[in-house]
Structure 1
Amino acid sequence: MAGCGHSQSTEQRTQATSPTAERTQPATGYTEKKPAYDGIGKVYMGREIAQVMGHLGAEWLERPERQQEERTDLLLDILDLKPTDAVADIGAGTGYFTFRLARALPKGNVFAVDIQPEMIEYLNQGKKKAGTPNVQPVLGTITDPKLPANSVDIALMVDAYHEFDHPREMGQALVKALKPGGRIVLVEYRGEDPNVPIKEHHKMTAQQATREMAALGLKLLKNDARLPQQHVLIFGRN
């Protein structure tokens, strides 16, 4: 199962998916259906949102074979980072990418955003252990990453976006957080490839991701195919 540190309470999900709550929300493209085995029954622009993994899946995020399976070592090269960049790792989880980013940004900083207090604790412990003062853990919400406006050069989501139960609201907040010329990067298992051994709702097609980002005023700048199982989709303002 894919996913990276994005969870919510039963009460929050009930509020988000009940017919009453849906009627009171603005026209953001959400509908409801009977949940699939790996979905939550909430549909955004034709895509059913996936169930979350949460902090109990921390060991899976840090599994030793992850680098070989996903070639995570290539991602920093693909991002083409500048030493002074500010990067937001959205759904940072245990900080698998957070601390790799921090070492690559000696004059920059990393906002490690998660909505689970358990993951924020992982991140604070990891920050001390790794000696990376340029990491700033941030406790966000299901609709807001709590980032300052015009504060980040890159907002990175690794196997996380497909689980956001308010993708439009989160996306709008992330666009506001981008500096001029900033980018949103989605790393998602390829939904076009049936051979990728991941549950259906934990994969995304490039076409679907591009459609959802277009609703935020973003265009696809690059679809990097170097990773063996995942898209790296880089978006910027139109």
Structure 2
Amino acid sequence: MKSFHQTTFLFLLIFAISFSVFSQKDNNSSGDYIYKKGDFNGIGKWYLGREIAYVMGYEGINWLERSTREKEENTSKLIKNMNIKSTDIIADIGAGSGYHAFKMAPLCKSGYVYAVDIQPEMLNAILKNPKFEKYTNIELVEGDEKSVNLPKNTFDKVLMVDVYHEFSYPKEMILSIRKALKENGKIYLIEYRMEDKSVPIKKLHKMSEKQAVKELQAAGFKLDENISNLPWQHCMVFSKQ
């Protein structure tokens, strides 16, 4: 039998989650989002037919920095796919522990990598990494649920690795990114392939090419190509229409 304190804590937890969801409903006057019960790993909020997944907290840093990541995702090939130039200004949205930012920084020596995350703990992990002092062209930016908080018309490339599907406000975030991109800028959207059942990732943390195109087209982007050389992930390249 649960103790009184356990029962009370559980009630308060459910109340807090429900209050958060209903608060989001109240703030969504444009009607872009639908709220209904869904997957256990989802937040009960849907955009263009897709349920949004929970954000992976900073407690998952060890997963981001796992020793098997290069083999599983071929991150070196992903970076090559981006064809980074020495003068590029790049935004790493949902940078997490800086895994990709630290790989890109030495390639754009005369440019910058803006590491953006909504969790201060993630940005602090980058700050404490010895590589941060080595690469002086990494800027840390704290974003929020609706904006990447980046300067307009500045970025040559935007990288999003396994993060877009967790945006609580995907429409607002993509429009924010669009403003930050130069006219000829590119988005590199990396998501685990929904089409491949052998990819050992929870369903809500995958995306299909069809769904990604649907959502980014709604924000004025077109798919230039989907580079299919990564083991588990799509490497979708979008530009402004």
2:47 alignment counterpart: 44
From 131, 136, 142, the equivalent of 1:133 is 136
Unaligned runs of at least 5 residues, structure 2? 1-13
Deviation at 1:12, TM superposition (A): 9.9
Greater relative CO, 1 or 2 (CA 8 Å, sep 6+):
1
Residue 117 of structure 1 contacts residue 139 of structure 1 at CA under 8 Å; is this kept in 2?
Answer: yes
Deviation at 1:127, TM superposition (A): 6.0
1:44 corresponds to which letter in structure 2? Y
Per the alignment, do residues 163 and 24 of structure 1 end up closer, same or farther by CA in structure 2, a change over 3 Å counting? closer
Deviation at 1:37, TM superposition (A): 1.4
Secondary structure in structure 2 of the residue aligned to 1:231 = strand
Deviation at 1:118, TM superposition (A): 0.5
Q: Structure 1 residue 77 and structure 2 residue 77: aligned?
A: no
1:234 alignment counterpart: 237
2:215 corresponds to which letter in structure 1? E
Provide the C-alpha distance between the structure 1 equivalents of 2:26 and 2:127, rounded to a whole number of angstroms: 39
Deviation at 1:98, TM superposition (A): 0.5
Q: 1:80-91 counterparts in 2 under 5 A?
A: 80-91=83-94
Displaced runs of 4 or more, over 4 A: 10-16, 127-130
Per the alignment, do residues 199 and 123 of structure 1 end up closer, same or farther by CA in structure 2, a change over 3 Å counting? same
- Please provide the CA RMSD for this pair: 1.9
Secondary structure in structure 2 of the residue aligned to 1:157 = strand
Provide the C-alpha distance between the structure 1 equivalents of 2:15 and 2:113, rounded to a whole number of angstroms: 31
2:108 corresponds to which letter in structure 1? L
Q: 1:2-21 counterparts in 2 under 5 A?
A: 17-18=21-22, 21=24
1:157 alignment counterpart: 160
Q: Structure 1 residue 67 and structure 2 residue 77: aligned?
A: no
2:10 alignment counterpart: none
Secondary structure in structure 2 of the residue aligned to 1:107 = coil
Residue 40 of structure 1 contacts residue 50 of structure 1 at CA under 8 Å; is this kept in 2?
Answer: yes
Provide the C-alpha distance between the structure 2 equivalents of 1:12 and 1:54, rounded to a whole number of angstroms: 18
1:195 corresponds to which letter in structure 2? S
Per the alignment, do residues 230 and 11 of structure 1 end up closer, same or farther by CA in structure 2, a change over 3 Å counting? farther
Per the alignment, do residues 13 and 81 of structure 1 end up closer, same or farther by CA in structure 2, a change over 3 Å counting? farther
Number of residue pairs the alignment of both structures matches: 228
Per the alignment, do residues 70 and 235 of structure 1 end up closer, same or farther by CA in structure 2, a change over 3 Å counting? same
Provide the C-alpha distance between the structure 2 equivalents of 1:220 and 1:44, rounded to a whole number of angstroms: 19
TM-score, reference length from structure 2: 0.90
From 16, 23, 35, the equivalent of 1:32 is 35
Provide the C-alpha distance between the structure 2 equivalents of 1:11 and 1:84, rounded to a whole number of angstroms: 50
1:159 corresponds to which letter in structure 2? D
Identical aligned residues as a percent: 44
Q: List per-residue Cα deviations over 1:91-144 (Å, max 9, x = no partner).
A: 000000001010111111000000111011111122655511100010111111
From 215, 222, 225, the equivalent of 1:222 is 225
Per the alignment, do residues 11 and 127 of structure 1 end up closer, same or farther by CA in structure 2, a change over 3 Å counting? farther
